[in-house]
A and B are shown apart, each in its own frame.
Chain A
Amino acid sequence: MKRLLSIELQKIWQNRASKVLTIIYFLSLTLLASIALIEFDFGPFKFKAADSGFFNFPYIWHFTTYVASWLKIFLAVIIVSMVANEYSYGTLKQNLIDGMSKKEFLLSKIYTILLFSLVSTLLVFGISLILGLKYSSFTEVSIIFSDLEYLFAYFLKHVAFFSFCLFLALLIKRSAFTLGFIFVWFLGENIGHAILKYKILGYKPKDKDTVVIDWVKDALPLESMSNLIVEPFSRLNFIKSITNTVGANFENNYAVQPIFIGIVLFWTSLFLILSYRILKKRDL
């Protein structure tokens, strides 16, 4: 495992673009901490991030994991380009000729995905812990370390998304097309669902078809990943009070739901198995 990781990390680290992206990614993660400094004054509506409740334990776990996971696109670009490069440089072929097995080749990419996700999770954990200790109104140990499943969800979400990227990059072999495809896929999940629900079926709340379609959407790869950590904002008291005065009422389930963990695990294994299948079957 150490050997495979060191091979893959050399490939990434000696490539200037990947190196810069990695640095940008981990810097931006660290800079997330500066959200705490946000402060604005809007007439009657005063907002000070540090006092808003964002950083209260255990809510902060939910908040930081949600916000930080948007940055994963930086790492996705690295993974996609490192896989696509292996095809365009002909180095996948050369690696195999030099005595790497196809399994080892895939494992070296998977270990890297796990490492990136793990480092990112640990960093988010550290940052949240520091921010929380500084600004949280509650600092009892039992409260601090409750709701840690958000970190697990964060880790899983990254592993799943990167596996998706790995699979598509192996399939498509071109980094620009792969990234474009991921974006189109993302739009497709949402637009396809919207068209079906509102245009074709006509929106009927609680209708059987609508419920089924919502469920199908929730089970799609990107949607299920995003459902692992739902948006945390409407959970905050001051936003709740605003929406209540407007008349809207959110009844979200904010917890990490096991069903989505299951669905995401299914997609992740499927992507990895299919990646191996592609490597095995394809002549170079």
Chain B
Amino acid sequence: METILKITNLHKKYRKVHAVNNVSVEIKKGNVYGILGPNGSGKSTTLGIVLNVVNKTSGEFEWFDGTYSTHDALKKVGAIIERPNFYPYMTAEDNLKLVCKIKNIPYTKVFEKLELVGLLDRKDSKFKTFSLGMKQRLAIASALLNDPEILILDEPTNGLDPQGIRQIRDLIKVIANQGTTILLASHLLDEVEKVCSHVIVIRNGVTLYQGTVDGMVASEGFFELESENLAQLESALQQLPQIEKIEKDENKLLVYLKSHLEPGELNTLLFKQNITLTHLVKRKNSLEEQFLELTKH
């Protein structure tokens, strides 16, 4: 698969803060990536570096196998960072035309993209008259002007109202379905879980996990069990080799697994020991639980 962006051993040190610490990432064409990390974890700095607005301290990054200089590569990238930045005194259309001039492309896509984000009827309004949601959608239109190879979104739903968040999410899904590679930085996990196929988890500038979403949540999972006699249940469970640990949660037992165990199998085993279960559920950690687990101090 074609590599779009390759980051190798990237470091960024501000005076006292080591904002990005040895980050290596490879972005392949066609995937939707989520970068997860608490606020201040170095997500935006990493994106800033590959987008030519922050200077790296050391390390390398390479767009499209290094066939273009960074600023020419960026002409094939669409990116939105934190808040929409446009000239407030220009209309939506003029702002997009200016971006076309910068990217050195014809104006042909301006109306199409305004239509896509639902701003065509406001094309002659000045940017300063827009609501935050509209500004954010204009930013997406602007990032899509060149039908980019990759769309980079840094906290695209920050500060939006529920409708705005929904609109942006739907847009991202539409764009992802068209086969555009997306890199989505966010600390909102359900956002990432809903649209991304791959995740990169960063904390304090260090990469903690890198791989598929499924891979991240694919631990063996755990059972929630209830029975009339919990003590008996617990001692019976401790005999089983597949079990890693048992936690008590009010009148439930949370049973974590080391290796694979089917609920039916467990039920049969327990029934043979005259234990009847009143509650049996097998669950997997959500991305959120897994993320909090990973980023715990």
A interface residues (Cβ-Cβ under 8 A, vs B): 3, 6-7, 10-11, 14-16, 85, 89-91, 93-102, 104, 280-281, 283-284
Asked if B38 is at the interface of the complex by the 8 Å CB criterion, the answer is: no
A14 to B101 alpha-carbon distance, docked (Å) = 15
A10 close to B98 (CB less than 8 A): yes
A14 to B69 alpha-carbon distance, docked (Å) = 31
B88 close to A89 (CB less than 8 A): yes
B85 close to A100 (CB less than 8 A): no
- In B51-108, the 8 Å CB interface with A consists of 51-55, 69-77, 79, 81, 83, 85-90, 94, 97-99, 101-104
| 26 residue pairs A–B, Cβ–Cβ below 8 Å | A3-B101, A10-B94, A11-B98, A14-B90, A89-B86, A90-B85, A91-B86, A93-B53, A93-B85, A94-B81, A96-B71, A97-B52, A97-B81, A98-B102, A98-B103, A98-B142, A99-B71, A99-B75, A99-B104, A100-B102, A101-B70, A280-B55, A283-B48, A283-B54, A283-B55, A284-B54
A16 to chain B: closest residue by CB:
B89
B14 to chain A: closest residue by CB:
A283
Q: Which 8 A-B pairs have the closest CB atoms?
A: A99-B75, A90-B85, A101-B71, A94-B85, A99-B74, A284-B53, A283-B54, A98-B102
A99 close to B90 (CB less than 8 A): no
On chain A, the residues within 8 Å of B88 by CB distance are 89
Given contacts A10-B94, A11-B98, A284-B48, contact A94 B86 (CB under 8 A): yes
On chain B, the residues within 8 Å of A10 by CB distance are 90, 94, 97-98, 101
B81 close to A93 (CB less than 8 A): yes
B89 close to A15 (CB less than 8 A): yes
Q: How far is the CB of B87 from chain A (nearest CB, A)?
A: 6
On chain A, the residues within 8 Å of B85 by CB distance are 89-91, 93-94
A90 to B87 alpha-carbon distance, docked (Å) = 9
Interface residues on B, range: 20 to 34
On chain A, the residues within 8 Å of B76 by CB distance are 99
B82 to chain A: closest residue by CB:
A90
On chain B, the residues within 8 Å of A102 by CB distance are 52
B102 close to A7 (CB less than 8 A): yes
A100 to B103 alpha-carbon distance, docked (Å) = 7
Q: How far is the CB of A197 from chain B (nearest CB, A)?
A: 43
A3 to B102 alpha-carbon distance, docked (Å) = 8
Most chain B CB atoms below 10 A, which of A100, A104, A281? A100
B53 close to A283 (CB less than 8 A): yes
On chain B, the residues within 8 Å of A104 by CB distance are 71
Most chain A CB atoms below 10 A, which of B52, B77, B97? B52
Q: How far is the CB of A43 from chain B (nearest CB, A)?
A: 54
A95 to B52 alpha-carbon distance, docked (Å) = 10
Q: How far is the CB of A63 from chain B (nearest CB, A)?
A: 39
Given contacts A14-B90, A96-B53, A99-B104, 19 further A-B contacts (CB under 8 A): A3-B101, A3-B104, A10-B90, A10-B94, A10-B98, A11-B98, A14-B87, A14-B94, A15-B89, A89-B86, A93-B53, A94-B81, A95-B102, A97-B79, A97-B81, A98-B103, A99-B71, A99-B75, A99-B102
Given contacts A101-B71, A284-B53, contact A6 B83 (CB under 8 A): no
B51 close to A97 (CB less than 8 A): yes
A284 to B70 alpha-carbon distance, docked (Å) = 16
B101 close to A6 (CB less than 8 A): yes
Q: How far is the CB of B39 from chain A (nearest CB, A)?
A: 18
A14 close to B103 (CB less than 8 A): no
B126 to chain A: closest residue by CB:
A14
A91 to chain B: closest residue by CB:
B85
Q: How far is the CB of A275 from chain B (nearest CB, A)?
A: 17
